[in-house]
Amino acid sequence: MKKQEIIDLILAEGSPTQKYIVKRDILSADKNSSEMLALQEQIIDLKEVRKILKHQSDNGWFGEFLHGGACDAMDGSVARLRELGVEPYHPFMQKAKQALYADEYPSKARRSYPPVEEYNFSRAQTLANLHVVGEPADELLVKFQNYLLDKYKRAIQVESLDEVSREIKAAKYIGSRAFLAGKDFPWPCDFTVLGSSLNWKTKSAVDIITSAMENVARLAPIPPIFDYYNNHYVAPISGYSEYDISDDCCDMPRGTIIFWLREYNFLCQICDIKRIPYYFRQAEKLAERVQNDTLIENLSDSALSAIEVTYGFSGKWKSEEQKRVDIYYKALQILHNAGVEF
pLDDT band of 273, cuts 50, 70, 90: very high
Give a yes or no: residue 211 inside a domain. Answer: yes
Give a yes or no: residue 151 inside a domain. Answer: yes
Query: In this predicted model, which residue has the larger pLDDT, 279 or 101?
Result: 101
Whole-number Å distance between alpha carbons of 290 and 282: 12
Domain membership of residue 175 as a residue range:
119-244
The number of beta carbons lying within 10 Å of the beta carbon of residue 136 is 10
Helix (H, G, I), strand (E, B) or coil at 235: coil
Query: Rounded to a whole number, what is the distance in angstroms from the first to the last CA of the chain?
Result: 8
Whole-number Å distance between alpha carbons of 29 and 142: 27
pLDDT digits (tens, 9 = 90+) for 275-318: 988 788 888 888 988 999 988 877 777 667 767 766 666 567 88
pLDDT band of 256, cuts 50, 70, 90: low
pLDDT band of 184, cuts 50, 70, 90: low
Give a yes or no: residue 50 inside a domain. Answer: no
The number of beta carbons lying within 10 Å of the beta carbon of residue 175 is 15
Q: Could you tell me how many residues make up the chain?
A: 342
Give a yes or no: residue 42 inside a domain. Answer: no
Phi, psi of 37 (to 5 degrees): -65, -35
Give a yes or no: residue 188 inside a domain. Answer: yes
Domain count, the chain: 1
Give a yes or no: residue 134 inside a domain. Answer: yes
Average pLDDT value for residue range 173-188: 51
Whole-number Å distance between alpha carbons of 240 and 215: 13
Whole-number Å distance between alpha carbons of 279 and 259: 15
pTM recorded for the entire structure:
0.87
Give a yes or no: residue 240 inside a domain. Answer: yes
Give a yes or no: residue 312 inside a domain. Answer: no
- Per-residue pLDDT at 237: 36
